[in-house]
Amino acid sequence: MSDMPPPPPPRNPQSRNPIKGLRDQKPNADGKPAMPKWAIWAIIGAVVVLAFGSQLFTQPTGEKLSYTEFLAQVRNGDVSEVTINNSTNIISGVLDNGSKFTTTGANTLSDADETLLKQMGVNYDYNTPQANFITSLLPIVLPFLFIVAFFMWMQRRAMGQAGSIMSVGRSKAKAYQADKPSTTFADIAGYDGVKLEIKEVVDFLRMPDRFKEIGARVPKGMLLVGPPGTGKTLFARAVAGEAGVGFLSVTGSDFMEMFVGVGASRVRDLFLQARKMGKAIIFIDEIDSIGRKRGAGLGGGHDEREQTLNQLLAEMDGFETSEGIVILAATNRPDILDPALLRPGRFDRQIVVPLPEFEERLAILKVHSRDKRMGTDVDLETMARATPGMSGADLANLVNESALFAVRRNSLNIERIDFENARDRVVMGARRESLVLNAEEKRATAFHEGGHAVLAAVLPHSDPLHKVTILPRGMALGVTWSLPEERHTYSREYFEDLICKAMGGRVAEKIVFGQLNSGAANDLEQATSIARRMVREWGMSDKVGPMAWNGQQQVFLGEDLMTSGREYSDSTAQLLDEEVSRILLEQEQRAHDVLTKHRKGLDLVAEALLRDETIDGPTVGKLIQESLGTAVESELPTA
């Protein structure tokens, strides 16, 4: 790009700045610069020179002679001067021509050799060199120096550990300056309602006087609530980028330590950093880790978490909105938060960030596809309609998976088939190539999935059938996939069709083979869960009536153990179980009746699956029409 800065000039390895090198030294735990490694070797070298330098530099020089040659030179009268070292037994001297020599003799000269020196007029002398002062002190000083160095090293280690302990109470928040969060609302596709709600924070940080003139008070805190992957953290970054203020990002787990009181100290340090920045946004992600209801759970409470929460509540009460500090928090479990945290004056507003609708999914797919090489047959609108219930993170993963499939095909562009394969992998799981079914298992799987597919095609309130396959994917030997229509409320007839369709695989095997196997375990689990919720939560049982008996709340969600038990009598529990069993048995019988009526269609669908392994929804509909000879008849739901 033309607006990018030019690359920095290459570094010259031969021109280094010594001052910069000293400045770049890493500090110790106590904040002082660490001693460079070369300094240690310099100190050792200095000690060696001081200890042995006198001996190294006072070694005699000259021609090396043997003792016999030395005596011959004396007899010839060529030696003028001799010096005998009593410590090393080295004899050095000067010849008549001025050249020097050295030789090694005995501890003492014999009487004959000494008489020879006197007869030849050689000036000789005995020399006993004095011991080096430093050398004589080394045996005493070195052990002392080693002991002192050891204790200094131990002290520095202790100071370093003490420094790390003292810094444990500092906040671990990542600080971004005003120009660092480059994310803006333009980078977030869709969610216009959420942007409108959260835009007040941006306006307040930009134009606080406008709010002061009319007497309005901006909320101190905003809680972003929504399923995982909907972009709550991205919204917080966008607010900081739009407002152009400092941004402190921290997660709830960063406050937790094994020491009681550390989390409260980090909370204080976090708000202190925010005040130093002037106008700032504090973002606490996953606030439910420290904001759970106090005094709840099996153990009664958690001292560290409760102290941290108390400090957070105190800090939120301790500053005014005029200071320019706004707190944003995100969680996907608002039901377990402490009520004191959600009251007005702390988190004044809860902003729901839901799963994206069709238009928002389309915009998200366009954002994540703009830097990809897309083929001409890719229809993002169709893909957006085919991905209900997916979050923004799921859609981003879908686009990335499609790119990976294109690379595996050695294609230069992402085609429609890549999106289809990526969606199948994300929704149904990866295909297990290594799993090979025998003929009997493959035929049973074909009729099992065929039972699901036939019911999905003929039941009036069922979701449209998209695809059915007997290729093992994920943990399943086969998959029948329906595309749910975009809806927000569901009728009793819809759930009855859903249970009936779940029973289709089990019933088809019973009709065709006259026996049952373990392949319907997941179907039964899904059907039982739906039937139980119909009776206990949604009031869809005439005998139970309009009552909700939701006794499935877990203790770890913040409720006390004594209040999370069953709230109804044994007779009511028996009635609930009877109604759940009635719904399941009725829908199983209904599935049996429908599949018996469409037995020819079931056989055709199973044969197509054995032949093609994967067929789509329209193909299933044509096979059922072919078996009937007329249009597909819709089965009316039973009362």
467 shares a domain with 409: no
Choosing from 286, 304, 415, 449, the catalytic residue is: 449
pLDDT tens digits, residue range 563-593?
Answer: 445 677 888 889 999 999 999 999 999 999 9
**And the tokens for 342?**
């959600």
Active site residue 449: yes
Judge whether 275 lies within some domain.
Answer: yes
* Positive or negative: CA dihedral 520, 522, 527, 528: positive
199: domain CATH number is: 3.40.50.300
Work out how many domains the chain is built from and give that number. 4
- Contacts (Cβ under 8 Å, ≥6 apart) of 348: 219, 220, 221, 222
DSSP state of 520: G
Which of 368, 394, 428 finishes a domain?
428
Rounded to 5 degrees, φ, ψ at 104 are: -120, 130
| Cβ pair 65, 59 in contact under 8 A | no
**And the tokens for 243?**
């407002």
453 shares a domain with 337: no
What pLDDT does residue 563 have?
A: 45
603 shares a domain with 513: yes
26 pLDDT tier (thresholds 50, 70, 90) = very low
What pLDDT does residue 527 have?
A: 93
585 shares a domain with 499: yes
Burial class (CB in 10 A: 0-12, 13-18, 19+), 455: buried
Pick from 469, 451, 467: nearest CA to 459: 451
**Is the pLDDT reported for residue 320 higher than 70?**
no
| Cβ pair 254, 266 in contact under 8 A | yes
Pick from 453, 441, 540: nearest CA to 490: 540
422: domain CATH number is: 1.10.8.60
| Cβ pair 303, 260 in contact under 8 A | yes
> Rounded CA gap, 230 and 392, in Å?
5
121 shares a domain with 69: yes
Tell me the pLDDT of the chain averaged across its residues: 76
236 shares a domain with 105: no
Pick from 113, 82, 112: nearest CA to 96: 82
What pLDDT does residue 502 have?
A: 92
Which of 352, 386, 418 finishes a domain?
352
**What percentage of the chain exceeds 90 in pLDDT?**
13
Pick from 352, 349, 354, 327: nearest CA to 229: 354
| Cβ pair 416, 375 in contact under 8 A | yes
348 shares a domain with 364: no
DSSP state of 216: -
What pLDDT does residue 251 have?
A: 79
pLDDT tens digits, residue range 518-559?
Answer: 888 888 999 999 999 999 888 898 888 888 876 444 444 444
Judge whether 34 lies within some domain.
Answer: no
Which of helix, strand or coil describes residue 495?
helix
Judge whether 243 lies within some domain.
Answer: yes
> Rounded CA gap, 363 and 107, in Å?
102
Which of 373, 407, 428 finishes a domain?
428
Residue 64 to residues 93, 358, 561, Cα–Cα distance (Å): 11, 101, 99
598 shares a domain with 483: yes
385 shares a domain with 344: no
- The domain in which residue 279 lies consists of 174-352
Which residue do the tokens 């039964």 mark? Answer: 524
114: domain CATH number is: 3.30.720.210
Which residue do the tokens 């899904």 mark? Answer: 526
Judge whether 602 lies within some domain.
Answer: yes
578: domain CATH number is: 1.20.58.760
Residue 394 to residues 59, 295, 371, Cα–Cα distance (Å): 82, 36, 18
**Is the pLDDT reported for residue 638 higher than 60?**
no
Judge whether 636 lies within some domain.
Answer: no
CA atoms within 13 A on the CB side of 190: 20
What pLDDT does residue 249 have?
A: 80
536 shares a domain with 446: yes
Judge whether 460 lies within some domain.
Answer: yes
561 pLDDT tier (thresholds 50, 70, 90) = very low
Q: What angle do CA 364, 370, 374 make, to 5 degrees?
A: 110
**Is the pLDDT reported for residue 495 higher than 90?**
yes
Judge whether 222 lies within some domain.
Answer: yes
468 shares a domain with 424: no
Judge whether 3 lies within some domain.
Answer: no
What pLDDT does residue 579 have?
A: 93
250 shares a domain with 102: no
